[in-house]
Amino acid sequence: FSNPLMACCGFGGPPYNYNIQVTCGHRGCPVCAEGSKSISWDGIHYTEAANAIIASKVLSMAYSTPRTPFDFFCRS
C-alpha cells in the first residue's frame, strides 16, 4: 500500500487526506487513481483490497484461539 494513512477519497492532503467537513462525494473532493493501493477508502471504510487481506487472515484461523474453522457454528 502506498501512503497507508491517507484516504483514497478525501480532502485535506497528507497525512490523512480526511476532513470531516468535506467528505467523499462532496464537490471538490478528489478520488485517487487506484483504490487498490489504499487501505482507507474515505477515512472511515476500508478499501476492497484491505478488506480482502483482513478476510483472508480471519479465514486462515491464524488469529483465533482456539483455532476454530469459519463454518464451525454453521453446522446443523
pLDDT along the chain (76 residues), means of 10: 94 95 93 94 96 92 86 78
Please state the pTM of the whole predicted model: 0.79
Q: Which residues contact 45 (CB under 8 A, 6 or more apart)?
A: none
Three-state SS annotation for 19-33: CCCCCCCCCCCCECC
User: Could you give the CA distance from residue 18 to residue 52 in angstroms, rounded to a whole number?
Assistant: 23
pLDDT score for 76: 67
pLDDT score for 68: 84
